[in-house]
C-alpha cells in the first residue's frame, strides 16, 4: 500500500491574489515536493485586442490595484515606440519619479503590512493577530511609520497623476501634465520622514537577521539560479528603461554575466515560458539554458545582484553591508525583504536628486505623433521585477495582439523551489506523524511565498481576492490534511 501524501495550504494569505500550496509526500512519508498553485485567470491579453493602443496604459493599469503604475509606465513606453518618438526629458524624469514612488509604496506594503508581523510577532503567534493590527499592538511606532511610508509613496503618485490608484497620467509620448514647483516642494517636504522610517525598518530587520531569523536565510529559498533585470550604464542599479538604462542583464549565482545589453525588443529570442497543468501561472525561463537551468529570479534581490552599485550614498552603504551578509551574489530568497528596504532607501535618494533637477519642472512633457511602427515592446522594473508589454497594432493603431510578461510569473519556479525547501526542512517525520500539522509550520511555508511579494492579480492578469489553503496529500492522492484561511 502506498504511503504518499499531500498537504495543502489554501488560501495563501497576505499576498496579492488567490493561490494555494500543496505539499506532496513520497513513499517514505517525507516531503517530496511542494507546489504553488495560482488559481485565478482573467485574460487581459485577449480582451485588449481591438482597442486603440493609446488606451493600453489605462486598461492594463486595471490589472492591479497595488502596482498599476508599473503597467501604466510599461504601456506608455510601448506606446512611445509605436509613435517612434523620443519623449521630452522632463517627461522621462517625471515617469522615473512616479516609478520610484510606486516602488516605495509597494515595498512598504510588503514589508510593514504583510511580512513584518511574522518576524516581529513570531511564526507561531495567533494567526488572528499576525497582521498589521497585531503589529500595531506590538510595535506601534514601526506600524505607524510603515503606514506613513506607504502613504508617502501613494501621495507622490496622487500628486503627479491626480489619483493614488489607476492614474491615467503616463501616455504614449510622455505624460499628461507637468510638475508644479508647489507639488515638488510638497514631495520634498515628505522625504525626511520617509528616510527616518526606512532607517527604522532597516535597523529592526538587520537586528532580527542577526538573531532569531538567521536560520531562515538558509531555509527560505537558498539556492543557485540566474538573475534577470535592467541595469544602468556604469553597472548601476536601474528601474526604468529610459535615459541611462543599459538594457537587460542575466547573471548566474557565481556573479558571471551570462548575457548583457539585451534589448526588450528581442525578448522572445531569449525568454520562453513553460506551462504546468496545475497552475494558471506560467514558468518563464532563459531560453538558452532550458526550463531548469534557465530558471531565474527577478525583483529586488535580482536588481541588487545585477548592479555593481546603486549610485547614491546611503543605499550604496547598505548594499555593501547587505553583500557582507549574503555574499556578492545573494542567493537567499529571505533577503528579498532586506533588498526591498534598501531599494526604498535608493528610491528616496534618487527622488531627492530628481526633485533637485530644475528640468523636472519643464512644461514640455509630451511628444505627439501618428502611428509609425506596428510592433513594439516596452519594459520597466516593477516593484516585483521586470515587466514587459508587447503590442502589435494595425495602421489605425488598433491592438491586434498583446503579450504581457509579468514579474511574479518570472519568479514562479523560484517560489516553487522555495516552498519545497522549507517544507522539506520543517515538515520532519516527527512533525508529519502528528495528528494535525502545526499552523506555524504551514505559515512558514506561506511566508516562503511572501519573500517574493507575488502579485497574482498581475501575473495572471486576473481578478483577485486573496485567500489561501495548504493541503497535504498521500501517495495515493488522498487528501490527508488541510488548513484554510481567508
Partner 1 sequence: MSQSKASLLIGIGNRLRGDDGAGYRLAEALSLDPPKGVQVIATQQLTMELSATLAASQRVLFVDATLDPERCCRWSAPCLEAMDVTALQAVGLSHQLTPEALLAATDALYHCAPKAWQLLLPGLNWGHGDALSPLTEAAVSASLPLVRAWSRAHA
* Of the residues 128, 211, 396, 436, which one makes contact with partner 1 according to CB under 8 A: 128
Beta carbon nearer to partner 1, 68 or 173: 68
* CB atoms inside a 10 Å sphere around CB 43: 10
113 binds partner 1 (CB under 8 A): yes
CB 323 within 8 A of CB 330: yes
Helices (H) and strands (E) in the chain, counts: 19, 17
Beta carbon nearer to partner 1, 142 or 437: 142
**Least distance in angstroms from the C-beta of 222 to partner 1:** 28
224 binds partner 1 (CB under 8 A): no
463 binds partner 1 (CB under 8 A): no
In 3D space, the residue among 233, 89, 242, 93 whose CA is nearest the CA of residue 160 turns out to be 93
- DSSP string of 287-340, one letter each residue: GGGHHHHT-EE-SHHHHHHH-SB-SSHHHHHHHHHHHHHHTTTT-BGGGHHHHH
* CB atoms inside a 10 Å sphere around CB 444: 22
What is the separation of C-alpha 180 from the centre of its chain, rounded to a whole number of angstroms? 30
The values of phi and psi at residue 471, to 5°, are -125, 145
**Least distance in angstroms from the C-beta of 136 to partner 1:** 5
Residue 383 exposure: Cα atoms within 13 Å on the Cβ side: 32
| Residues 404, 445, 486: CA angle, nearest 5 degrees | 75
Beta carbon nearer to partner 1, 103 or 209: 103
Beta carbon nearer to partner 1, 155 or 385: 155
Instruction: Give the burial string for 94-130 (b: 16+ CB within 10 Å, else e).
Output: bbbbbbbbbbbbbbbbbbbbbbbbbbbbebebebeeb
Beta carbon nearer to partner 1, 132 or 246: 132
Beta carbon nearer to partner 1, 204 or 339: 204
Residues 136-195 touching partner 1, rule: CB under 8 A, are 136-137, 140, 143-144, 147-148, 150-151, 154-155, 158-159, 165, 186-187, 190
Residue 393: beta bridge partners?
399
Distance in angstroms (rounded) separating the CA atoms of residues 143 and 404: 35
| Residues 354, 177, 397: CA angle, nearest 5 degrees | 110
**Least distance in angstroms from the C-beta of 288 to partner 1:** 40
Beta carbon nearer to partner 1, 390 or 485: 485
* Of the residues 133, 257, 328, 463, which one makes contact with partner 1 according to CB under 8 A: 133
Piece in contact with partner 1 (CB under 8 A), picked from 131-139, 314-322, 341-349, 417-425: 131-139
Beta carbon nearer to partner 1, 52 or 65: 65
Residues 65-94 touching partner 1, rule: CB under 8 A, are 65
465 binds partner 1 (CB under 8 A): yes
By CB under 8 A, the count of residues binding partner 1 is 27
**Least distance in angstroms from the C-beta of 86 to partner 1:** 31
User: What is the binding site for partner 1 (CB under 8 A)?
Assistant: 14, 65, 113, 128, 131-133, 136-137, 140, 143-144, 147-148, 150-151, 154-155, 158-159, 165, 186-187, 190, 465-466, 486
Amino acid at each position: 500500500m502506498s504511503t504518499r501524501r499531500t498537504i495543502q495550504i489554501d488560501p495563501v494569505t497576505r499576498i496579492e491574489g488567490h493561490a494555494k500550496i500543496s505539499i506532496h509526500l513520497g513513499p517514505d512519508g517525507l516531503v517530496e515536493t511542494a507546489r504553488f498553485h495560482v488559481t485565478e485567470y482573467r485574460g487581459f491579453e485577449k480582451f485588449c485586442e481591438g482597442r486603440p493602443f493609446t488606451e493600453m496604459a489605462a486598461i492594463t493599469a486595471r490589472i492591479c490595484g497595488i502596482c498599476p503604475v508599473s503597467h501604466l509606465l510599461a504601456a506608455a513606453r510601448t506606446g512611445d515606440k509605436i509613435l517612434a518618438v523620443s519623449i521630452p526629458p522632463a517627461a522621462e524624469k517625471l515617469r522615473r519619479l512616479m516609478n520610484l514612488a510606486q516602488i516605495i509604496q509597494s515595498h512598504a506594503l510588503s514589508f510593514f503590512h504583510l511580512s513584518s508581523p511574522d518576524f516581529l510577532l513570531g511564526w507561531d503567534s495567533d494567526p488572528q493577530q499576525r497582521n498589521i493590527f497585531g503589529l500595531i499592538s506590538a510595535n506601534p511606532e514601526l506600524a505607524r511609520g510603515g503606514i506613513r511610508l506607504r502613504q508617502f509613496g501613494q501621495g507622490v503618485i496622487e500628486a503627479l497623476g491626480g489619483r493614488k490608484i489607476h492614474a491615467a497620467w503616463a501616455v504614449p509620448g510622455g505624460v499628461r501634465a507637468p510638475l508644479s514647483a508647489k507639488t515638488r516642494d510638497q514631495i520634498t517636504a515628505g522625504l525626511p520622514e520617509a528616510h527616518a522610517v526606512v532607517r527604522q525598518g532597516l535597523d529592526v530587520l538587520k537586528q532580527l537577521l542577526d538573531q532569531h531569523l538567521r536560520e531562515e536565510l538558509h531555509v527560505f529559498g537558498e539556492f543557485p539560479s540566474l538573475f534577470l533585470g535592467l541595469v544602468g550604464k556604469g553597472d548601476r542599479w536601474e528601474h526604468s528603461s529610459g535615459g541611462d538604462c543599459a538594457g537587460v542583464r542575466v547573471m548566474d549565482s557565481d556573479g558571471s554575466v551570462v548575457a548583457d545589453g539585451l534589448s526588450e525588443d528581442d525578448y522572445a529570442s531569449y525568454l520562453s515560458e513553460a506551462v504546468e497543468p496545475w497552475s494558471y501561472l506560467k514558468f518563464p525561463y532563459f531560453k538558452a539554458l532550458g526550463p531548469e537551468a534557465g530558471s531565474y529570479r527577478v525583483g529586488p534581490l535580482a536588481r541588487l545582484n545585477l548592479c555593481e552599485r546603486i549610485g547614491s550614498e546611503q543605499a550604496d552603504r547598505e548594499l555593501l553591508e547587505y553583500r557582507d551578509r549574503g555574499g556578492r551574489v545573494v542567493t537567499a530568497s529571505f533577503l528579498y525583504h532586506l533588498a526591498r528596504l534598501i531599494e526604498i532607501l535608493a528610491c528616496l535618494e534618487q527622488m531627492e536628486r530628481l526633485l533637485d533637477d530644475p528640468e523636472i519642472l519643464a512644461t514640455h512633457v509630451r511628444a505627439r505623433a501618428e502611428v509609425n511602427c506596428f510592433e513594439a515592446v516596452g519594459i520597466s522594473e516593477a516593484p516585483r521585477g521586470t515587466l514587459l508589454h508587447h503590442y502589435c497594432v494595425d495602421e489605425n493603431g488598433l491592438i491586434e495582439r498583446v503579450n504581457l510578461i509579468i514579474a511574479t510569473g518570472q519568479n514562479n519556479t523560484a517560489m516553487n523551489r522555495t516552498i519545497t525547501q522549507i517544507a522539506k526542512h520543517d515538515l520532519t517525520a516527527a512533525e508529519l506523524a502528528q495528528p494535525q500539522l502545526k499552523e506555524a509550520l504551514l505559515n512558514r511555508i506561506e511566508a516562503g511565498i511572501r519573500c517574493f511579494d507575488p502579485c497574482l492579480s498581475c501575473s495572471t492578469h486576473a481578478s483577485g481576492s486573496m485567500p489561501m489553503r495548504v493541503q497535504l496529500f498521500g501517495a495515493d492522492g488522498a487528501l490527508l490534511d488541510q488548513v484554510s484561511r481567508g
